Amino acid sequence: MTSRWVRLARHLFIKPWPVWLTLGGFGVAAALGALFGPTPAERAAWASTILQLAGIANVGWGLHKLRKDFPQSRFIDAWLLQLRSLLAKPTHVALSATGADVHVE
């Protein structure tokens, strides 16, 4: 009979952990919003700010885990180099050619 309760608990609490995490996140955001905001509008603003920051932290943690899982991947390094070259001041090269004589300035 104990295994039945263990299976039920596992089915209710362990398998749907993303649901519990989401509900817990909303609960924490609502509680902190109520703590910081004296009016309902400010409570909602604080709660939404907390949820946004939690979302940004989640993305950052996911990128961190991705970098740990694929250490050989240098996608971000290559992307940053490409971005730097796009933002860098362009260099101009002037060529002049006459017959067989070529000048590079």
Q: What is the DSSP string of the chain?
A: -HHHHHHHHIIIIITTHHHHHHHHHHHHHHHHHHHH-SSHHHHHHHHHHHHHHHHHHHHHHHHHHHHHH-TT--HHHHHHHHHHHHHSPPP---EEEETTEEEE-
Q: State the residue range of the domain holding 90.
A: 2-104
What type of residue sits at position 91?
T
Domains identified in the chain, total number = 1
Predicted local confidence at residue 102, as pLDDT = 65
| pTM strictly above 0.95 | no
Torsion angle of the four alpha carbons 70, 54, 81, 71, in this order, in degrees rounded to the nearest 10: -10
Q: pLDDT by residue (tens digit) across 62-72? A: 888 877 776 65
Tell me: pLDDT of 55 over 80.
Answer: yes
User: Which residues are CB-neighbours of 34 under 8 A, at least 6 positions away?
Assistant: 43
Comparing 10 with 38, the larger pLDDT belongs to 38
Residues 25-48: what's their mean pLDDT?
88
Predicted local confidence at residue 21, as pLDDT = 79
Predicted local confidence at residue 18, as pLDDT = 76
Residues 29-36: what's their mean pLDDT?
88
pLDDT band at 105 (very low <50, low <70, confident <90, very high): low
